Amino acid sequence: MEIRRLPIRNMNIARTFLTGLVTLLPIVVTIYLLVWLGHMAESFLGQIIRVFLPDDMYVPGMGLIVGVALILLIGVLMHAWIVRRTFEWSERFVYRIPVIRSVYGATRDFLQFLVHSRDPGFHEVVMVDIGDTGMQVIGFITRPDTSGLPPGAAREEDMVLVYLPLSYQIGGYTVLLPRAALRPIDMSMRAAMAFVLTGGVTAPRGAPSHDARPMAGV
């Protein structure tokens, strides 16, 4: 008996499954993290609220509301000079503890990176030539001048700090380069970061970015 193969036109089950997985997984992970953070805030702060509030007056969700209000309050207080000085003093104490300073420092540096990545200057995406090899890497200008650096750190006057991210991990190099060695490109910071972190798997969109800004002086 002859067995005929049924042709499958324009369909690859494995590729279709992966497409659905790539589409759905980021949404599921994001929702899971938000629910997990909300549950942790509700569980931890809810127990504290119950100490001062009778159980019959406690309403589920109070812990989450108190957590959001507490974060906003700390953000407002950090604008006060005495609060900033107190926080800096406590940080110096934390950085003296061997193990805790590594975890705390790495977490704080990563969060500061996320915060400063929203600064206007950080949205300047540039291409950097690596010597005479013809190799080019994508970078982000993090400081438009050499202010705040130790004296003698810059060999030339018009130099900027450029962050060169690595692929498939959180990390990279911060290098000091002449502004003339940089070539701005019309790509948003988000698209460029996704392109680099995925090793080029996530291709940038063909449409020009709306938040790309021309680099002055180039």
pLDDT tens, residue by residue, 66-120? 888 888 998 888 888 888 888 888 888 888 888 887 778 777 766 766 666 565 5
Is 39 inside any structural domain? no
Q: Which amino acid is residue 196, in one-letter code?
A: V
What count of other Cβ atoms lies within 10 Å of the Cβ of residue 187?
A: 21
Q: Between 196 and 126, where is the model more confident?
A: 126
Provide the domain limits for residue 142.
120-197
In a domain, 31, yes or no: no
Q: Is residue 154 part of a domain?
A: yes
Q: Is 128 a domain residue?
A: yes
125, part of any domain: yes
Residue 82 falls inside a structural domain: no
The answer to whether position 108 is within a domain reads no
Measured torsion, CA atoms of residues 43, 45, 47, 53, in degrees rounded to the nearest 10: -130
Site of tokens 């509301």: 65
Q: How many domains does the chain have?
A: 1
The answer to whether residue 185 is domain-embedded is yes
Q: Give the span between the Cα atoms of 68 and 93, in whole angstroms.
A: 27
pTM listed for this prediction: 0.49
Q: What is the mean pLDDT of residues 181-210?
A: 69
